[in-house]
Amino acid sequence: MKRMAKCVVCGGYTMKAAHCGKKPKMAHPPPYNPNDRYAKYRRAAGGIL
Ligand SMILES: [Zn+2]
């Protein structure tokens, strides 16, 4: 897995050394998808999204 960095200017993720003329901040991938806890309820309700 490649290291992702988050651009401090536009908020986008990049693997480059610079983005928007600034050095991006190292970002750790979230330990879990925060949407998962809601996806469980969405599935229970019969919805896809
Ligand atoms: Zn940027």
The residue written with tokens 């401090």 in the block is: 8
Residues lying with their CB under 5 A of ligand 1, a single-atom ion: 7, 9-10, 19-20
Distance 13 CA to ligand 1 centre (A): 8
Distance 6 CA to ligand 1 centre (A): 8
Q: Is the dihedral of CA 15, 3, 29, 9 positive or negative?
A: negative
Distance 33 CA to ligand 1 centre (A): 23
CB 49 within 8 A of CB 36: no
Q: What is the mean pLDDT of residues 21-44?
A: 73
CATH of domain 4-44: 2.20.28
pTM: 0.49
Percentage of the chain beyond pLDDT 90 is 41
pLDDT of 11 reads: 94
